[in-house]
Chains A and B, each alone.
Chain A
Amino acid sequence: MNEDVLKKVQSNPKFIELVHKKTSYGWKMSIIMLVIYYGFILTLAFDPTLLGTPIAAGSVITIGIPIGVFIIVSAFLLTGIYVRKANSEFDTLNQQIVEEARK
């Protein structure tokens, strides 16, 4: 990448927009995942019996089971949501920046 292209990209308001959007979105999603996971770990640490509560009176299934499955599914969904947004919105913006840099 030569100096010229570099300057062009760095001063492109779309680049600044991309950096801001992508970075803050990435951190936001990371924090959601961490809160879900460590929320679960801390529940285990401080109130383990909570997860052993049956989902309905007389049922053998405890609420820990759907919560566990939810965490696994949420990891998958969060990646899906991010990829969708990144591959459409961010990449469109990115494409424009790349093309404008070539001019």
Chain B
Amino acid sequence: MKARLTSLTAGLLAALPALALAGEAMTGEVEKQPLNISAIVMFFIFVAGTLFITYWAARQTKSASDFYTAGGGITGFQNGLAIAGDYMSAASFLGISAMVYEKGYDGLIYSMGFLVGWPIILFLVAERLRNLGKFTFADVASYRLSQTPVRLFAATGTLVVVAIYLIAQMVGAGKLIQLLFGMSYGSAVILVGILMMLYVLFGGMLATTWVQIIKAIMLLSGASFMAFMVLGKADFSLSKMFQLAVDAHDKGIKIMEPGGLVSNPIDAISLGLALMFGTAGLPHILMRFFTVSDAKEARKSVFYATGFIGYFYILTFIIGFGAIFLVLNQPGMMETVMKNGKEVTQLIGGNNMAAIHLSEVVGGNLFLGFISAVAFATILAVVAGLTLSGASAVSHDIYASVIKKGKANEKDEMRVSKMTTIALAVIAMLLGILFEKQNIAFMVGLAFSIAASANFPVLFLSMFWKGLTTRGAVIGGAIGLVSAVVLIILGPAVWVDVMKHEAAVFPYKNPAIFSMTLAFFFTWLFSVTDSSKQAAEEKARFGAQFVRAMTGIGASGASKH
């Protein structure tokens, strides 16, 4: 039982970094592969197309509202695709199909955790967020509270999450490009950095959204084609497909049932909380709700996003099973490598390449190039969104609201956000290169935990609880942020795996259940004990905020062009 408990935890947690980085192979040493010309050509076609879109978007992007939120003119359907695109990273594509390939049924369990948070976001937060916010989630959190401290806190929360997520993506991009294209790590990181800077700098949210939409369509069509071909090879019979996979896999019938995934309840629930509420605290995801015209479109976006993401996970499940009977142990697909002094037989380039190898089997070299290009394009699209949300935290929250007290002129605000974009791109490239040899598998988990423990509680309470005061929000949120970081450092992912200590001080890999509780508790405590005059005024303003959140009266609409 004990062994099963640990393996569940290890397994579920492996899914977290997988979301952004295609699992372990992307974070360890990878061997540079031979140059893949068709992949590179297709990738550059994609880049040329997206740069053209950026040029088009740049001509439409004039005001701050255009830059931050595409003028609020994105439709629910488009935004749904873009949100799905933010979620369907290279990693969830390569990582989850690889998990299915390795473990069968367990792979399906991973993908569910990522999906079920979306309905909750829709039911509880999406429309309030849209009705209250303008450009950033700090707009919502600071709606009736004191601007300076709350905006500073929210901007810090945003920048910390963005920085950590960017490092994870950058390192993932570097590793992935070595595997897929045979280019060097450094050139990959610099290429990603420059392209994301161009998208954001010139095209703002409009270009960022369209890059994400195009990538989502490419990925969904590519994956649909692969799943169709896999089913075709099994005469379109699910029983036959599963039977072929069971015959081919050395675990046999075990791949059809839950494997080592019995729950250590604390870690499993903690991870579930981080996934569910972390999503509702990720600044680049929250920002997407401001790109649509009203609450109705915001709701529709979640509906479409949930549909696309769910469909995508069903495809990856079929793709993983296809890889078992079409790729596993097939001639020319396997290699033997030394791992920790042992000989291990694996797919060429690691098991995360399962979907890539499968694409070659079902669609030939040209399709292999297409899928490789799509995998890399996904990273570009995600980092562009992250950079934009980081830049808006600096220009809109810190510069315009805190430094200029809301009296900045729009030109200056835009200039600050563009300077920040350049700074963030340079920092991301430097950190990407600096962290090349580091084990960063824990980083996406860290970003989700911080988002769930710092950003989410403050955002949620500001919308749902009248009693929230500035003092409570800032102290409680800060405690959530610090406790999430400290508990992850003391936990097995950093204390043991990175710092090489014998045993972890804090036994759980995922701190969300503790750090979220702390954040909520102290936010409550420091709010109810706050008897200042300011606190009373803040509570009194809840009524007006609530009316706007519910009805949308006074909410910022789409800008007219």
Contact = CB atoms under 8 A, between A and B. Distances in A.
Scoring A51, A52, A72, A101 by chain B CB atoms within 10 A of each residue's CB, the highest score goes to A72
B67 interface: no
A13 interface: no
Interface in B99-136: 105, 108-109, 111-113, 115-116, 118-120, 122-124, 127
Nearest to B245: A60
A28 to B, nearest CB: 8
Given A41-B268, A61-B239, A75 B115 contact: yes
B314 interface: yes
Contacts of A41: 263, 268-269, 272
A60 B246 contact: yes
Contacts of A71: 112, 115-116
B258 A48 contact: yes
A102 to B, nearest CB: 9
Interface stretch (B200-208, B297-305, B408-416, B491-499): B297-305
A64 B553 contact: no
A68 B105 CA distance: 9
Interface string A53-83: 0000001111011001101110110111011
A34 to B, nearest CB: 7
B257 A15 contact: no
Interface in A1-49: 1, 5-6, 9-10, 15, 18-19, 22, 25-27, 29-30, 33-34, 36-38, 40-42, 44-46, 48-49
B256 A76 contact: no
B406 interface: no
B551 A15 contact: yes
Given A9-B551, A9-B553, A30-B124, A75 B257 contact: no
Contacts of A97: 551
B376 to A, nearest CB: 27
Scoring A6, A76, A91, A97 by chain B CB atoms within 10 A of each residue's CB, the highest score goes to A76
Interface residues of A, number: 54
Given A62-B105, A62-B257, A1 B553 contact: yes
Contacts of B543: 6, 10
A94 B547 CA distance: 11
Nearest to B243: A60
Given A45-B265, A51-B257, A64-B105, A72 B550 contact: no
A75 B240 CA distance: 28
Contacts of B123: 25-27, 29-30, 33, 82
B120 A44 contact: no
Interface of B: 105, 108-109, 111-113, 115-116, 118-120, 122-124, 127, 238-239, 242-243, 246, 253, 256-258, 261-263, 265, 268-269, 272, 296, 299-300, 302-303, 306-307, 310, 313-314, 317, 543-544, 547-548, 550-554
Given A29-B119, A37-B113, 12 more contacts: A6-B543, A33-B120, A37-B116, A61-B239, A62-B257, A64-B105, A64-B256, A72-B115, A82-B122, A87-B296, A87-B300, A91-B296
28 contacts: A1-B548, A1-B554, A6-B543, A6-B547, A9-B553, A15-B547, A30-B120, A37-B113, A44-B261, A44-B263, A45-B265, A49-B257, A51-B105, A51-B257, A60-B253, A61-B238, A62-B257, A65-B242, A68-B105, A75-B116, A75-B310, A79-B303, A80-B303, A80-B307, A83-B300, A83-B302, A86-B127, A87-B300
Closest 6 interchain pairs by CB? Answer: A52-B257, A45-B263, A26-B123, A68-B108, A72-B310, A37-B116
Interface of A: 1, 5-6, 9-10, 15, 18-19, 22, 25-27, 29-30, 33-34, 36-38, 40-42, 44-46, 48-49, 51-52, 59-62, 64-65, 68-69, 71-73, 75-76, 78-80, 82-83, 86-87, 91, 94, 97-98, 101
